[in-house]
Amino acid sequence: MSIAGLSCYRPGQRSRFIYRTIMQRGRKSERRSFSERDYIALLDAAHQQLDEPIVCSGPT
């Protein structure tokens, strides 16, 4: 199983965790990780659920 997620924060509101999973069943032709399209779909879903722009912040 692969999991990708986003921790979403808005000042004055509860944090949210938006995630997607992929199950691998051991087939040779099956992907073992998220594709670029999967990550795009995750970001799009987060944008639609939050109804706000997404700002990414990484380690400094």
Q: Write down the mean pLDDT value for the chain.
A: 83
Digit-coded pLDDT (tens) for 30-55: 677 888 998 899 888 888 888 877 77
pLDDT of residue 58: 65
Domain of residue 29 covers 2-50
pLDDT of 11 reads: 80
- Looking at residue 59, its pLDDT comes to 65
Name the domain count of the chain: 1
Q: Is residue 59 part of a domain?
A: no
Q: How confident is the model at residue 60 (pLDDT cuts 50, 70, 90)?
A: low
> Which sign does the torsion angle of CA 55, 2, 45, 50 carry?
negative
Residue 41 resides in a domain = yes
User: How many whole angstroms from its chain centre is CA 26?
Assistant: 23
Averaged pLDDT, 4-25: 86
